[in-house]
C-alpha cells in the first residue's frame, strides 16, 4: 500500500466510526492521521522499517500499530472488521454532498434503507420529507448527488439510457446528409438495464467523415473513445458510452437487424439462413455472391420466409419459430391503454393533489384513473388511517362530478403483512373499488415463507392486483426470494392481475415471466406507480416490458374501458 491508499483507509475508518457513534476525539484522531500520512515529507515505508513512525507528531500508539500493519501486511484488520459491521451502501452514501453519517443513520434506522438505489427511490417517493432534519431542499440535493455519482457507474436504467439515446439520435438525424438513423442494440430491444448506446446511420460514402465529425461534436460529449471511417465511439458526461456505425443506404436494413438483435437471435437467424442456402451478415443476405435486395427490415425477414419480428422480441426465445408459423403476437401499444390504477397522491407520499393527477390523466386521453395511496402500516409513506380515507373519498366523489370525461376509482396499495393478511380490516377494505396488495417490508423471509405470504394475500377476496411481485430495485436491490411459478398459478386461479410496475427502478414483473403468465391466463396491469405527474408517463416503460414479454392488448386490464374495469373489480373467484 502506498501513502495515499493508507490515508484513504484512515479516512474511511473515521467515517465508519461516525456510524458507530464513537467518541469524537477518536474519530478526529483518524481524520488527523489521514492528513498527516498524506502530507508526510519522509517516506512512510522507511519510517516503518527504521521504527521511527512514533516520532511523527500526531501518530499515537494505536495509529502506529495499524499503519505498520498496512505497510507490512498490506491489510488493516480493524478497518475490515469495522467495514463488515456496517451495510456497505451506507458508506457509499457519504459521497453524496451534505449527507453525513448522522443523517445516513437516521435514514437507515427509520426507513431501513441500506443502498444508494433504495435511497434514490425513497427520495423520488418523497419519503425523506417527514424525517427530522430533512426537507424538500435536502431531498433534492440527495437526488442531485446520486445523479452525479451515476456518471461513473457501468450500468444504466433503461430510462436514463433511452433519454440520452433519443437526444443524440436527434443530433445525428438533424445532419442534412444523414439518410436514415436508428437506435440499435439493447435500447432498441428495450432491455431493462443498458451498458451502452448503439446508433446506426446511413449516408453516402463520401459524407462519412463529415457525419462522424458532427457526431463527435455532440455538446454532451465528455471524451472521444475512438474515431474511424465507419465506426466511432464517445463517452457522454453522464458516464455512458455511445457507439455509431455508418453504412450505405442499401446496407441499412441488414445492418439494422444485425445491430439490434441479441447475439442469440442473430446466431439463430444465421443458422436458419444457412439451412436455406443463404448467408447473412451486417452487409446483406447473400445467395452465393449475389445480394438479395431488401428495402427495409420487413423485406429482410420476408426473404427468410418469416413475418416481421418486432425488435423487443429478438432474444431467441421462440420468436423465429412463431414468425415462421405466422403466430407472433400483436403486441400491445400505447394506444391500447385506457387508464392507470397504481397512483399516489399527497394524501400519502405523492407529490401532487388528486385533482392535479386527474388533470394530467385527462391530458393523456385516459378514460379513468385510480388513486391508490398507501395503507396505514406504511408509516414511511404516510399511510392512510380510516378517517383520512373517508375525507379522501369525499374529495374523489366531488372530482368525479367536476370531471365527467374521466372516472376516478378509489383504490389502496395495501401492505401485505408478514402473515399474508392485508393492512386493513374487511370493513375498511370494502370502502375501496379495488385493492393492490404489495410487499414493502421483511424482505429477508425464506423463499417458502415469502411465497406462502404472498399467496395468502392473493387468496384474500379483496385483492384485485398484486403489486411489484419481486420487490426488486434495479441496480440496487435484488428481488426477494419467491416462487414465481406458484405465484402465477395462484393469481390465475383466483383471478388476480399481476402488476408490471413501470417505474424504471422496478420494471417488475420481469419480462421473462410475462409470457408464462399469459400462458396461464393471468391478466396483467401496466402501472406507473406514479408519485408525481411525470410518473404517470412511466407506463411507456411498462408497455415496453409488456411487449418484450409477448403481451397483447387482451392480456392487459388497462385495455378495459371504465365500465369493464369496474366490472373486473367486482369479479372474484
Domain positions in the chain: 3-152, 154-247, 249-328, 334-570
For the domain covering 249-328, report its CATH number.
3.30.210.10
- CB count within 10 Å of CB 79 equals 18
Beta strands in 175-254 (DSSP E): 180-184, 193-194, 196-202, 221-227, 231-236, 241-247
Sign of CA dihedral 209, 211, 217, 223: negative
The CA distance from 503 to 516, in Å, is: 22
C-alpha closest to that of 230 among 173, 282, 279: 282
Q: What is the pLDDT along the chain (573 residues), one digit of tens a residue?
A: 677 779 889 988 998 998 888 888 999 999 999 888 877 777 888 898 988 998 888 898 999 999 999 999 888 999 999 988 988 888 888 878 778 888 999 999 999 999 988 999 999 989 998 888 888 888 988 998 888 777 657 889 999 999 999 999 999 999 999 999 999 999 999 999 999 999 999 999 999 999 999 999 999 898 999 999 999 999 998 889 999 999 999 999 999 999 999 999 999 999 999 999 999 999 999 999 999 999 999 999 999 999 999 999 999 999 999 999 999 999 999 999 999 999 999 999 998 999 999 999 999 999 999 999 999 988 778 889 989 999 999 999 999 999 999 999 999 999 999 999 999 999 999 999 999 999 999 998 999 999 999 999 999 999 999 999 999 999 878 899 999 999 999 999 999 999 999 999 999 999 999 999 999 999 999 999 999 899 999 999 999 999 999 999 999 999 999 999 999 999 864
Torsion of CA 284, 289, 294, 295, to 10 degrees: 80
58: CB partners within 8 A, 6+ apart: 32, 33, 36
- pLDDT score recorded for residue 98: 77
C-alpha closest to that of 553 among 533, 524, 516: 524
What are the angstrom distances between the C-alpha of 22 and each of 27, 28, 29, 47, 92? Answer: 7, 10, 12, 29, 19
Going by CATH, does the domain composed of 154-247 fall within 3.30.460.10?
yes
The CA distance from 70 to 329, in Å, is: 61
C-alpha closest to that of 253 among 168, 162, 180: 180
The CA distance from 28 to 23, in Å, is: 9
Half-sphere exposure for 337 (CA within 13 Å, toward CB) = 30
- pLDDT score recorded for residue 379: 79
CA 307 to chain centre: 32
Specify the CATH number for 334-570; select among 3.40.50.300, 3.20.20.140, 3.40.190.180, 1.20.1270.360. Answer: 3.20.20.140
Specify the CATH number for 3-152; select among 3.40.50.720, 1.10.150.110, 1.20.59.20, 3.40.1800.10. Answer: 1.10.150.110
Side by side, the strands of the sheet bearing 407-415 are 339-340, 368-374, 407-415, 434-438, 463-466, 497-501, 524-527
CA 495 to chain centre: 28
Side by side, the strands of the sheet bearing 284-287 are 279-281, 284-287, 290-291
C-alpha closest to that of 559 among 517, 509, 500, 488: 500
- Kindly state the cell numbers that stand for 150: 451515476
pTM greater than 0.75 (yes/no): yes
Long-range contact pairs involving 383-389 (C-beta distance under 8 Å, separation at least 24): 383/348, 383/415, 383/423, 384/347, 384/348, 384/412, 386/428, 388/347, 389/428, 389/431
**Contact at 8 Å (CB) between 500 and 472?**
no
The CA distance from 176 to 200, in Å, is: 16
Amino acid at each position: 500500500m502506498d501513502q495515499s491508499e493508507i490515508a484513504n483507509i484512515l479516512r474511511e475508518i473515521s467515517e465508519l466510526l461516525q456510524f458507530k457513534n464513537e467518541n469524537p476525539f477518536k474519530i478526529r484522531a483518524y481524520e488527523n492521521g489521514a492528513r498527516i500520512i498524506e502530507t508526510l515529507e519522509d517516506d512512510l515505508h522507511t519510517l516503518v522499517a527504521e521504527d521511527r513512525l512514533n516520532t511523527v507528531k500526531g501518530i499515537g500508539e494505536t495509529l502506529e500499530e495499524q499503519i505498520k500493519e498496512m505497510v507490512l501486511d498490506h491489510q488493516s484488520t480493524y478497518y475490515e472488521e469495522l467495514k463488515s459491521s456496517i451495510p456497505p451502501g451506507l458508506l457509499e452514501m457519504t459521497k453524496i454532498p451534505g449527507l453525513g453519517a448522522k443523517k445516513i443513520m437516521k435514514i437507515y434506522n427509520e426507513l431501513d434503507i441500506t443502498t444508494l438505489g433504495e435511497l434514490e427511490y425513497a427520495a423520488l417517493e418523497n419519503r425523506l420529507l417527514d424525517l427530522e432534519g430533512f426537507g424538500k431542499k435536502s431531498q433534492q440535493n440527495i437526488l442531485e448527488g446520486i445523479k452525479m455519482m451515476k456518471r461513473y457507474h457501468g450500468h444504466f436504467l433503461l430510462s436514463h439510457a433511452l433519454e440520452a439515446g433519443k437526444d443524440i439520435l436527434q443530433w445525428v438525424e438533424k445532419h442534412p446528409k444523414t439518410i436514415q438513423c436508428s437506435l440499435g442494440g439493447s435500447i432498441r430491444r428495450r432491455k431493462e438495464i443498458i451498458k451502452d448506446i448503439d446508433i446506426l446511420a446511413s449516408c453516402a460514402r463520401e459524407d462519412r467523415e463529415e457525419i462522424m465529425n458532427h457526431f463527435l461534436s455532440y455538446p454532451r460529449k465528455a471524451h472521444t473513445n475512438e474515431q474511424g471511417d465507419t465506426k466511432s465511439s464517445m463517452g457522454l458526461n453522464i458516464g455512458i458510452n455511445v457507439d455509431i456505425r455508418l453504412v450505405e443506404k442499401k446496407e441499412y436494413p441488414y445492418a439494422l437487424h444485425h445491430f439490434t438483435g441479441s447475439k442469440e437471435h442473430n446466431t439463430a437467424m444465421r443458422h436458419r439462413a444457412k439451412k436455406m442456402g443463404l448467408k447473412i451478415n451486417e452487409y446483406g443476405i447473400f445467395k452465393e455472391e449475389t445480394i438479395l435486395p431488401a428495402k427495409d427490415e420487413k423485406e429482410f425477414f420476408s426473404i427468410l420466409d418469416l413475418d416481421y419480428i418486432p425488435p423487443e422480441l429478438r432474444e431467441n426465445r421462440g420468436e423465429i419459430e412463431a414468425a415462421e408459423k405466422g403466430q407472433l403476437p400483436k403486441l400491445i401499444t400505447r394506444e391500447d391503454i385506457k387508464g392507470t390504477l397504481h397512483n399516489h397522491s399527497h394524501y400519502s407520499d405523492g407529490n401532487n393533489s388528486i385533482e392535479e393527477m386527474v388533470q394530467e390523466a385527462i391530458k393523456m386521453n385516459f378514460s379513468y384513473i385510480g388513486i391508490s395511496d398507501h395503507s396505514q402500516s406504511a408509516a414511511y409513506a404516510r399511510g392512510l388511517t380510516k378517517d383520512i380515507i373517508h375525507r379522501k373519498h369525499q374529495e374523489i366523489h366531488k372530482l368525479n362530478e367536476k370531471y365527467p370525461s374521466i372516472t376516478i376509482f378509489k383504490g389502496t396499495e395495501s401492505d401485505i403483512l408478514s402473515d399474508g393478511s392485508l393492512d386493513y380490516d374487511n370493513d375498511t377494505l370494502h370502502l375501496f373499488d379495488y385493492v393492490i396488495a404489495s410487499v414493502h417490508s421483511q424482505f429477508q423471509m425464506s423463499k417458502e415463507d415469502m411465497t406462502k405470504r404472498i399467496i395468502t394475500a392473493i387468496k384474500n377476496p379483496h385483492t384485485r392486483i398484486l403489486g411489484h411481485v419481486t420487490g426488486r430495485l434495479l441496480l440496487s436491490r435484488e428481488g426477494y426470494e419467491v416462487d414465481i411459478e406458484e405465484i402465477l398459478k395462484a393469481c390465475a386461479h383466483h383471478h388476480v392481475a399481476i402488476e408490471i410496475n413501470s417505474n424504471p427502478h422496478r420494471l417488475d414483473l420481469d419480462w421473462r415471466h410475462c409470457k408464462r403468465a399469459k400462458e396461464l391466463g393471468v391478466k396483467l396491469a401496466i402501472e406507473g406507480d406514479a408519485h408525481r405527474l411525470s410518473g404517470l408517463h412511466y407506463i411507456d416503460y411498462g408497455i415496453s416490458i409488456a411487449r418484450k414479454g409477448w403481451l397483447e392488448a387482451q392480456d392487459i386490464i388497462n385495455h378495459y374501458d371504465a365500465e369493464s374495469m369496474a366490472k373486473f373489480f367486482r369479479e372474484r373467484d
